[in-house]
Amino acid sequence: MRELTPQEREALYIKHECPFCQSKKFDYGPEGGLSRNIFCTKCGAGYNVYPAELPGGQVIRHPKEGAPKEGWGSPQGIDLNDPYGGED
C-alpha cells in the first residue's frame, strides 16, 4: 500500500477514472470510518478513498496483483462523486 500521487488523486477525484487504465467503472470494497475501498472493474487496481474534501487516499492493489478477493466487489459499480452511495 502507498499514498496516491498528485496525478493519481487527480485521476480518481477529478477525472473519475482509474489512474492505471483510465476506466471509469469501479466496484465497492470494504469500508470503515471515513474511507471506502474501491476496485477498478477493468484492471483490478484497488484504492482506499476518502470524501473528496479530505486529503489522502492510497493505492491498495496494483493491477499486476490481479482481481480483488471474491465478495469484495459490488456488481453495480459506483459514482466517485459519491463513494458512499448516498449513505449517511
pTM of this structure: 0.71
The model's pLDDT over 46-88, given as tens digits with 9 standing for 90+, comes to: 999 988 777 778 888 888 765 555 544 444 455 555 555 555 4
Query: Does the structure show a pLDDT above 90 at 7?
Result: yes
CA dist 39 → 13, 14, 64 (Å): 14, 17, 13
Cell digits for 38?
474501491
Cell digits for 80?
466517485
Q: What is the mean pLDDT of residues 29-44?
A: 88
Give residue for cell 463513494: 83
pLDDT for the residue numbered 28: 85
pLDDT for the residue numbered 82: 58
Q: Per-domain residue ranges for the chain?
A: 2-65
